[in-house]
Amino acid sequence: MRISEFSDPILFSSQISPNDVAQGRIGNCYFLAVCSSLAEQPSQVRDRFITKCLNKAGIYLLNFWINGQQTPVLVDDYLPIEGNNLIFSHSKQVDFWVCLLEKAWAKLMGSYGATIQG
> Domain-by-domain residue ranges, the chain?
3-115
pTM: 0.92
Can you tell me the distance from the alpha carbon of 118 to that of 114, in angstroms, rounded to the nearest whole number? Answer: 8
Query: pLDDT at residue 106 above 80?
Result: yes
User: Residue 64: pLDDT band by 50, 70, 90 thresholds?
Assistant: very high
Mean pLDDT for the stretch of residues 62-70: 95
Q: State the DSSP code for 17.
A: -
